[in-house]
Amino acid sequence: MCKSENLVPSVSEVKIENDKKENLKIINFDEALSRTGFGKFNYFLVILSGIVLTAVLLETLSISFVMPVAEYDLNLTTENKGILSSVAYAGIIASSHLSGFLADTKGRRKIIMFSLLLSFLCTIVSSFIENFWGFAVMRFLCGFFISGSSTTIYAYLGEFHDIRKQSKVVMGAAFVFGIGCICVPLLALLIINQEWSFYISFLDIDYKPWRLFVAVCGSLSLFSGICFIFLPESPKFIHSQGNNEKTLEILRKVYKWNSGKSIKCYEVNEIESDKTNDKKTEKYNWVKKIWHQTAPLFQKDHVKNTFLLCSIQFLIFITSAGLYMFFPEILNRSSEFMQIYPSSRSTICHALEMTKITPNLIETIVNKTSVVKLEIETYEYAFLLEIIYAIGFALIGILVNTLGKLPIIFFILFGCALCAAAVSFVSIMTLSIYLYVILLACGLAVNVITTSTIELFPTNLRAMAISLSLMFGRLGSIFGTNVTSLLLDNYCEFTFLFSFFTLTLSCFLVFHIPNISYRISRECNSSNNTSVS
């Protein structure tokens, strides 16, 4: 029960009750949201959002562990590897605009749910395909569908929390994502390095460990998609559509999950209408609808922020995802070099040059039924990188409201830029590899930048803005992947110097993001905060 029931209330109780009713007649959305509290529902949502981000990573970057061991089965050339490295990102780019539009017009929850389930279906099919082009098409479709969840999840999570908690919950989800990423190299080690193979006659394929690894990576999308069947739509989105009754219904459910009390105890009777999103109910065809949803991002109020955030994401993704696609291969070849020349003082670029013609991995392939493995050291360094991400996300979540976003982003990007400048010139191989691992940690800044995107754009444009900025990030991934493939073997030093240049430039651009240095103090009152519409 909300309170004890007295048959004869006192005069003071009647006065308090009347004052309470008077004060709770109509309140704004942010106040109504804050009264749901922070409890079991919020923790579950943060964890599930982190799992969704992990599922997106598995669907896109896990291919980097597959390519070195599947090159004979799929007849992969160097050019084919470049295509597979970027084809999922091409799919994400192809659907980013559409998924952002649908999320802003049809709802966050539906887009995330169907996105995850359809990407799982494509992943399962791809694990049984025998030829390169069929595999590439299915990976493209996987990226096409996963795009909806990879961007919309940020808006969905943020809109269940007020501005004081948005940065913390996004970084909390990123921490869960970091923990999930630790499982990727462990999963690859446990599955890919097994020595088994069996023939599936009706498909005419040898089913090997790498195929099982692809299927297992997709299973997280299935789990996440099923979870969203039971979750409500974003209350902020419903409120922006003018449906106050439905908004109140969702908030009451959140309150019930958090407090364990009856929905009758939620002392909000009516919410102010969202005046910022009043629109004429005009009927457009799909092309015009997408245009009217996108055009405001490039008009006077938002154009500067749109170009700024898209540019920063593009520059960061060149290294964080583009260079990461060669992470297992670079580490594998470096480990081989250290085994052959254990006492040699060489740079990582020299090791790659010495192993580019006849790498030990290729020589182990004897026939179609052979099972190829990665060096154990490759998994160890991959595991180290994921630990850095997990710890980094945790620290950012703790410090972001106290320090503000600007010093955190600057420290990450400039520190990684210095590592990029040093990695190709350090002649101690082990140290050079460690610098390379730290360089790839620049991806820690991506979620902090995305938090700024959530805060800078109104509800009706938020998902589109996030989709667009991350779409440019994926373009950076494709650009970085192709630049790396062109430079790595013959101009290795320029590969890392290019990362130094792009990360340094992104550092400069971050200073121009509005309110990036704003800190949310624990003592500040909700009434003093500027609410995000």
Q: What is the pLDDT of residues 457-490, one digit of tens each?
A: 887 777 788 888 888 888 898 898 888 877 877 7
Distance of CA 147 to the CA centre of its chain: 10
Instruction: Look at residue 179 and tell me if it is in a domain.
Output: yes
Residue 267 in this model has a pLDDT that exceeds 70: yes
Which phi and psi angles does 304 have, rounded to 5°? -60, -45
Q: Which residues sit opposite 27 in a β-bridge? A: 271
- Measure the CA dihedral 418/423/429/431, to 10°: 10
Instruction: Look at residue 265 and tell me if it is in a domain.
Output: yes
Region 324-339 average pLDDT: 81
Q: Sorting pLDDT into bands at 50, 70 and 90, what band is 224?
A: very high
Q: What percent of the chain has pLDDT over 70?
A: 84
Instruction: Look at residue 31 and tell me if it is in a domain.
Output: yes
Instruction: Look at residue 278 and tell me if it is in a domain.
Output: no
The pLDDT of residue 462: 78
Alpha helices in 260-319 (DSSP H): 286-294, 303-317
Distance of CA 288 to the CA centre of its chain: 29
In angstroms, the CA 357 to CA 353 distance is 8
DSSP annotation of 234: P
Q: Sorting pLDDT into bands at 50, 70 and 90, what band is 338?
A: confident
Matching residue, tokens 């390095």: 193
The pLDDT of residue 417: 94
Tokens of 164: 């004081």
Number of domains the chain contains: 1
Output the CA–CA distances (angstroms, integers) from residue 166 to 112, 385, 451, 532, in the order listed. 19, 26, 7, 11
Instruction: Look at residue 8 and tell me if it is in a domain.
Output: no
The residues, ordered by sequence, that sit 6+ positions from 22 with a Cβ below 8 Å of its Cβ are: none
Neighbours of 52 (CB within 10 A): 32
Q: Sorting pLDDT into bands at 50, 70 and 90, what band is 213?
A: very high
Q: Which residues sit opposite 200 in a β-bridge? A: 205
Alpha helices in 193-243 (DSSP H): 209-228, 235-240
The residues, ordered by sequence, that sit 6+ positions from 104 with a Cβ below 8 Å of its Cβ are: 293, 460, 461, 462, 463, 464
Residue 141 in this model has a pLDDT that exceeds 90: yes
Instruction: Look at residue 159 and tell me if it is in a domain.
Output: yes
Residue closest to 477 by CA, chosen among 324, 267, 298: 324
In angstroms, the CA 447 to CA 307 distance is 17
The pLDDT of residue 288: 65
- Of residues 36 and 164, more confidence is placed in 36
DSSP annotation of 441: G
Residue 27 sits in which domain range?
A: 22-272+286-528
Helix axes 348-355, 327-340, angle to 10 degrees: 90
The secondary structure of 443-472 as a DSSP string is GHHHHHHHHHHHHHS-HHHHHHHHHHHHHH
SS3 label, residue 158? helix
Question: Is 296 within 8 Å of 302 (Cβ atoms)?
Answer: yes
Mean pLDDT of the chain, nearest integer: 80
Residue 5 in this model has a pLDDT that exceeds 80: no
Q: Sorting pLDDT into bands at 50, 70 and 90, what band is 390?
A: confident
Burial of 5 (0-12, 13-18, 19+ CB in 10 A): exposed
Instruction: Look at residue 391 and tell me if it is in a domain.
Output: yes
**Which CATH number does the domain housing residue 321 bear?**
1.20.1250.20
Region 195-218 average pLDDT: 87
Instruction: Look at residue 55 and tell me if it is in a domain.
Output: yes
Q: Which residues sit opposite 198 in a β-bridge? A: 207
The pLDDT of residue 198: 84
The pLDDT of residue 28: 83
H-helix or E-strand containing 199?
strand 198-200
Tokens of 185: 């190299």
